[in-house]
Amino acid sequence: MEGKLPIFEKPKVELHVHLDGSIKPETILHYANKRQIKLLADTVEGLLQHVAYKEPLSFTEFLAKFNHYMPAIAGDLSPDEVVRLVNQGLREGERDFSVKARSILCCMRHMPNWSAEVVELCKKYRNDTVVAIDLAGDELISCEAFSRHREAYEEALKCGIHRTVHAGEVGPSSVVREAVDILKAERIGHGYRTLEDPVLYKELLDKNMHFELCPWSSYLTSSCCSDFTKHPAVQLRNDKANYSLSSDDPLIFGSTLNKDYKLAKKYMGFTEEEFIQMNINAAQSCFLPETEKKELLNQLYEAYGMILSTEL
Ligand SMILES: [Zn+2]
């Protein structure tokens, strides 16, 4: 019976995966070669030795991994051209692989001057693949011009652009508080350290805030302790919070989404029902327009053998 197939074989919703952390090494080498850019290695194995890793590093060491290959990828294009080309690629991918793919444009914490342009690009391409704004980067650096990020998020809110924020990954729970109260985030990227503030945690549970959890990433960036049985995902699961699992940067973490599911099953005891529920939560918390969200939910209900329970 279909309903008994493990979740690994079924369609899943992944809400938090960075494009620049998901490039195939072969593609990086192709463009390095074509553009005559010298990288630390010129074979897949050699490149992966520098870029991918398996034991925890500090968050700054993790961020430095991007510098090893992004020169080969980032070109002489304007941000507008980048968004347009990425949209085209996502559309082709949707067609070729029968999946739904949407993009979220990231402001960077250390680059407050970019944020105004990021929100303008969200507005320009909102009906063409782009669904939301995000804020990523190192939460621990002090940002003197945080107001630039706040202004971009205010503009996003005013224009009905969806909002998620990386917060409480390595930064304290106050960064999550800021994301919710000031940036009006509708989802939280990671959010592990929310648990350190029980008042905030209770508030977010009541709000049904969605947490985009990335367990394998949190281990390799040293965001969470190395004992997966104590991972924040366990408490969120026990409290029936709204969360889902994502891979974050599969190239750098040498992983696929199934790696996170396997960890959750092996060390945290997640059941098939819990995996199914988190995917439904993810679909309900995704930033697709309502009609497309309903279609996605129905596809999941069907794939999970739950179609009779839906209200069509
Ligand atoms: Zn991320």
Condensed to tens digits (0 to 9), the pLDDT of residues 47-56 reads 999 999 999 9
User: What does DSSP assign to residue 5?
Assistant: S
Q: What is the pLDDT of residue 308?
A: 62
Q: What does the pLDDT read at residue 7? A: 87
Distance 33 CA to ligand 1 centre (A): 28
Neighbours of 26 (CB within 10 A): 9
Contact 211, 191 (CB under 8 A): yes
One-character DSSP codes across 193-224 = GGGG-HHHHHHHHHHT-EEEE-HHHHHHTTSS
Question: What is the Cα–Cα distance from 300 to 294, expressed in whole angstroms?
Answer: 10
Provide φ and ψ at 156, rounded to 5°.
Answer: -60, -45
Pairing type for strands 187-190 and 210-213 reads parallel
Span from the CA of 305 to the centroid of ligand 1 (angstroms): 31
- What is the CA(16)–ligand 1 centre distance, in A? 6
User: pTM of this prediction?
Assistant: 0.95
DSSP letter for 309, please. G
In the 8-state DSSP scheme, what is residue 270?
Answer: -
Of 248, 234, 286, 253, nearest in space to 57 by CA: 253
Q: What is the pLDDT of residue 311?
A: 53
pLDDT at site 141: 84
- Measure 17 CA to ligand 1 centroid, in angstroms: 6
Residue 241's contacts (CB-CB under 8 Å, 6 or more residues apart) are: 204, 205, 211
Residues 215 and 51: beta-carbon distance below 8 Å: no
Spans in the chain with pLDDT lower than 70? 1-5, 308-312
Tell me the CA–centroid distance for residue 312 and ligand 1, in Å.
34
Catalytic residues: 169
Residue 170 has a pLDDT of 95
The position carrying tokens 């090893």 is 68
Quote the ligand 1 centre to 267 CA distance (angstroms): 22
